[in-house]
Amino acid sequence: MSFVAEFNALPLGTLLERACAASPAAAEGSLGRSHLALADFANLIAPGATALLESMSQRSRALTQQRFGKVIRLFAPLYLSNECINNCRYCGFSRDNPILRVTLTPSEVRRETEALLQEGFRNILLVAGEHPKFVSASYLAECVRAAHEVMPSCSLEVGPMPVDEYRPLVEAGADGLVVYQETYDRRVYDDMHTSGPKKNFDWRLETPERAYAAGFRRLGIGALYGLADWRSEAICVAAQAQYLLRVCWKAQVTISLPRLRPCAGEFQPLTHMTDRDMVQLVCAFRLMFPDIGLVLSTREPARLRDGLMPLGITLMSAGSHTEPGGYTGAGNENLHHTRKGRIVELEPDELAKAGPAARATEQFNIADSRSASEVAGQIRRIGYEPVWKDWDQALAS
């Protein structure tokens, strides 16, 4: 049975009722269990569980140290292209946003990868918008090959594809695939994705399974918090993680916790998730899934990231740029607009206004602008070790 079938049968209403109304005693009962069910997870994210946040944090911290050691693994996103055929109301790369666009050539991708290698990274995430003309499967395979020649571990965050298009990417050296469902609320999903292939909710929901079938051995999932009620989203993420751990058992599963950030288009979050909610959610995920990697990006401010480091987070991006060419300026001479799938050159006055330092438009503003070495220094200061290389590959070899 695919996750879509399980998702459709999920008693979300009942679980959400718990997540909104469970008593501190119910949460305490769940906290005492060694194996948690979805109902326990719902109890732990309830407002009533905030009374137990200190105990949850201590348990989460101890569990993370026991399973992962005192280490935080670092990675960087490398944006290949900000072309996109979809209109997603919350994203700066949306098709109809009149932004500065570019698609890096494989040699430019190599240049960006080498810059990240110089900074110390041994693990990167190649990110691209979804556009069959500019970001084809063969283009992605070339980019993976170019990056993987020098970078030991490369994962992808790109538009969902069929299994047979994923296989060449695995053969080219990509070992992980990240796909956020964005929101698990079908009504909100439909409203947010106004045009383009991304409107297909089920196709996206089944992406991790197709990626696994193609040979990816790291699967990253998550919701984009700020679109629907965070507790409802978290229950669905937990349900999907449970399913993937059971069915795609040879893969490592990671959960990311992105919150919406300002971007081109000026979209405002529809729902609010406080920093305290974020802490509670990190702990609840860790207690529910002791061995799952939890990912925190530079969308979050430095202070919160530092506070969350020892609580359950195992992977962090650092020194990130969310525009193609962000690390070296690669591709800057080819900036353009794209209208109806066609490249439109910049007007001379636009070029003059943009100046020599013109850059492709970023996907969103980052909140933690520290360099990778500054983040690594902070990790050391709290008594943890920053790990740049991919430890799993080291173990496997």
- Residue 240 CB, shortest distance to ligand SF4, in Å, is 18
- Residue 185 CB, shortest distance to ligand SF4, in Å, is 16
What are the residues whose beta carbons fall under 8 Å from the beta carbon of 180, sequence distance 6 or more? 221, 222, 223, 224, 256, 258
> 93 vs 212, which CB is nearer to ligand SF4?
93
Q: How far is CA 72 from CA 59, 76, 294, 373, in A?
A: 18, 13, 10, 13
Contacts to ligand SF4 from residues 164-223, by CB under 6 A? 198
Q: Give, in degrees to the nearest 5, the angle at Cα 115 between 99 and 259.
A: 50
DSSP-derived secondary structure for 112-153: HHHHHHHHT-SEEEEEE---TTTS-HHHHHHHHHHHHTT-SE
- Residue 84 CB, shortest distance to ligand SF4, in Å, is 3
Per the CB < 8 A criterion, the answer to whether 286 and 64 are in contact is yes
By the rule CB under 6 A, 379 interacts with ligand SF4: no
> 27 vs 169, which CB is nearer to ligand SF4?
169
- Residue 210 CB, shortest distance to ligand SF4, in Å, is 17
- Residue 30 CB, shortest distance to ligand SF4, in Å, is 34
Q: Which stretch binds ligand SF4 (CB under 6 A): 25-33, 80-88, 132-140, 145-153?
A: 80-88
d(CA 101, CA 331): 10
> 19 vs 260, which CB is nearer to ligand SF4?
260
Which string of x and - marks every residue 115-154 that binds ligand SF4 (by CB under 6 A)?
--------------xx------------------------
> 200 vs 369, which CB is nearer to ligand SF4?
200
Helix (H) or strand (E) holding 42: helix 38-44
d(CA 141, CA 122): 19
Q: Which of 84, 143, 257, 292 lies at the binding interface for ligand SF4 (CB under 6 A)? A: 84
Residue type, 389: K
> 84 vs 241, which CB is nearer to ligand SF4?
84
Provide the 8-state DSSP code for 310: G
> 93 vs 285, which CB is nearer to ligand SF4?
93
Helix axes 163-171, 207-214, angle to 10 degrees: 50
Which string of x and - marks every residue 85-104 that binds ligand SF4 (by CB under 6 A)?
-x-x--x-xx----------
Strand, coil or helix: 186: helix
Report the interface residues with ligand SF4, using CB under 6 A: 84, 86, 88, 91, 93-94, 129-130, 198
